[in-house]
Structure 1
Amino acid sequence: MVDVDRAIDRMTEFLGDALVTTGADGYVVGVSGGLDSAVCATLAVEAVGNDAVTGMILPGAPSEDSNMADARELAADLGITCREVSIAPAVETFRQESPHEVGPRDAGNVRARTRMVFLYLEANVNGLLVLGPSNKSEILLGYFTKYGDGAADLRPMADLYKTEVRQVARALDLDETFVRKAPTAGLWEGQTDEGELGAAYETIDTVLKSLVEADESIEAAAERAGVGVEQAERFRRMMEDSEHKRTQPAAPELPR
C-alpha cells in the first residue's frame, strides 16, 4: 500500500526539481475532466505554482459536455492558464484523407495522437514540458495509445496504481466528482476503461500488485483478487503483449 502523504511529497519534489534541471518554464497538461488529469494538474500546481502550469482542454466527439465543464471548473479552481481547442476538424480531415477505412478504435487512436500534437505544440511555443497523467495500472496493461496519451516528457504518477490515484485525489481535497467518475479515455462512444478491461480497477490492481509487487503465481493472484485464473492470466498476457509500448523502439547494434 502506498504511503499517500509521502507519495505526494515525492511527486511534487520530482516536478519541482525537473524544472530546475531542464530549464523549462513550466508544464502543460491535458485536462479531460477525468480523475488522472485532475490529480496530475493539481500536483503540478502544488509543485511549481499555478503561474507555471498550463491546462489544455481538447474536446471532440465523443467528449461529453459534462466532462469538459468539469475540466474548465478544475482549471478555474486551480487558477491556471487554460486553452481550449477542438480536435474535431483535424480528426475529420484525417478520416477524409485516409486511404483506409477508419474504424472506432482507429479513430480513438487518432484522437489521442491529435491531442498530443496540440500539447507538444503548446510546449514547444512556450518552453514547457508535457506532463503525462498515466497511472501504473494503465502502463502495465498497455492501456494507452502509443505516441498518443502515452507520450509525455514526465509521468509523475507512473508508480501509482489507479486505486492509489483515488487515494491521492482525496488527500489533495479534489472534488469527489472526479474520484467517483467512471474512468474513460473518451475515445469512442460509450467507452469506459473498466468495461473494456472487463473488471473493476480494484480487481485489476489486486491482480497486478500480486504479479508485479509480490511476484506471485497466476493462481495466487487470481485467488487474492477473487477472480478466475483465466481472467488473471488475461491481465498477465496484456502486460507481456504491451511490452513494446514501455520500451524504446528496437534497433540493431551495428559493427564499428
Structure 2
Amino acid sequence: MQTEKVIDHIVNWLKDYANNAKVNGFVIGISGGIDSAVTSILCAKTGLEVLCIEMPIHQPKSHVSRGQEHIKQLKKDFPNVKNSLVDLTPVFDQFKAEVSIIEKQATVDMALANTRARLRMTTLYYYAGLHGLLVAGTGNKIEDFGIGFYTKYGDGGVDLNPIADLMKSEIYDLAKVLGVSNSIIKAAPSDGLFGDERSDETQIGASYPELEWAMTMKENGNTAKDFEGRKREVFELFSKLNRNNQHKMIPIPICEIPKSLK
C-alpha cells in the first residue's frame, strides 16, 4: 500500500465532502484505540474544525489515559483541534436503574454494551448539531463489512467513514506514518463497551490478521472445505458472523406497497 498517498487521498476526500456539505468540520469520539486515533489525525489534517470528545462510561483507566495522551498530542500538532469531556457514566447508571433487567446475564450485558454505544452516538450528534460538524466514523473494513463488529445506530451511526475501506493491518501502517503513540499502537484492540479490559479478539474468537485472511479467502471464492484445522475454524467463524450480521451491512428493509394497492 502506498501509505502516504492513501493518507493524502483520504484527507482530500474528507475536505471535499465537508466543503460540499457546507459544514465546519468533524466531531469524533476518542476511545484510546488505534482506529479513532488514526481517524482524528486524518480529520485534523484537513485544516477544518475538529472536535474530539471523550465519553467515558466506567472506562478502564488505561483506555482513558491513552485517549487523553492522544488528544494532548493532537492539539499540540494541530491548532484546529478542540476537545471536550462528557462523562456519560451517571447517564448510563440512571438508565440501568430505570429499565427492567430480568433476562439472562449475558443478554443483559450485551444489551447494555450496545446502550453505551448508542449514548455516545447521541452525544456526538448533539455536538455535531451545535457546531455544524459531521460525525466521523472509526470502523475499519473488517468491522464494517466483514463481521459487522459494531453497534447498529451506535458506533455504526455516523455521517461518513474515512477508514472503512482499510483493513486493520493497513490502519496500523497509517498509524506509524501519522505518528500515533506507541501506547496506542501496541494496545490490544478493544471496543471498550463492557467497562473492562477485554479485547476484540476475546469477544470475536479470532485475531484481526486471521479475520483479514478469512475475508480475503471468502472474496476469492473459497469455502470451508478448502481448509483444515485452525484455518477452517476461523473461516467458518468469519462466514457465520458475516451471515448473521448482514442486517447491519445492508440498507434498512422497506415494505414496498404494490401500485395496485395505492
* Shorter-chain TM-score above 0.5: yes
3-state secondary structure, aligned to 2:45: helix
Shift of 1:101: 3.6
Matches within 5 A, 1:186-197: 186-188=192-194, 189-197=196-204
What is the identity percentage for the equivalent residue pairs of Structure 1 and Structure 2? Answer: 31
Matches within 5 A, 1:80-91: 80-91=81-92
3-state secondary structure, aligned to 2:189: coil
3-state secondary structure, aligned to 2:152: coil
Gaps of 5+ in 1: none
- Amino acid in structure 1 at the alignment position of 2:244: D
> Residue deviations 1:125-150, cap 9 Å, x none?
11100000000111120111110011
Aligned residue in 2 for 1:234: 237
Shift of 1:219: 4.2
Aligned residue in 2 for 1:138: 143
Gaps of 5+ in 2: 76-80
> Residue deviations 1:8-62, cap 9 Å, x none?
122111101111110011100000111100000001011235xx1000000111x
TM-score (norm 1): 0.91
Aligned residue in 2 for 1:11: 10
Aligned residue in 2 for 1:55: 52
**2:77 equivalent to 1:71:** no
**2:216 equivalent to 1:174:** no
Aligned residue in 2 for 1:252: 255
Matches within 5 A, 1:19-34: 19-34=18-33
3-state secondary structure, aligned to 2:134: strand
> Residue deviations 1:103-162, cap 9 Å, x none?
221111110100111000000111100000000111120111110011100110000111
Is the Cα–Cα contact under 8 Å of residues 70 and 180 in structure 2 kept in the other structure?
A: no
TM-score (norm 2): 0.89
Aligned residue in 1 for 2:78: none
Runs of 4+ in 1 over 6 A off after TM superposition: none
Query: Which of 93, 106, 111 is matched with 1:106 structurally?
Result: 111
Is the Cα–Cα contact under 8 Å of residues 211 and 218 in structure 1 kept in the other structure?
A: no
- Select between 9-18 and 114-123 the one with higher mean Cα deviation: 9-18
Shift of 1:164: 1.2
Aligned residues: 248
3-state secondary structure, aligned to 1:32: coil
Shift of 1:97: 1.1
Shift of 1:216: 3.1
Is the Cα–Cα contact under 8 Å of residues 55 and 82 in structure 1 kept in the other structure?
A: yes
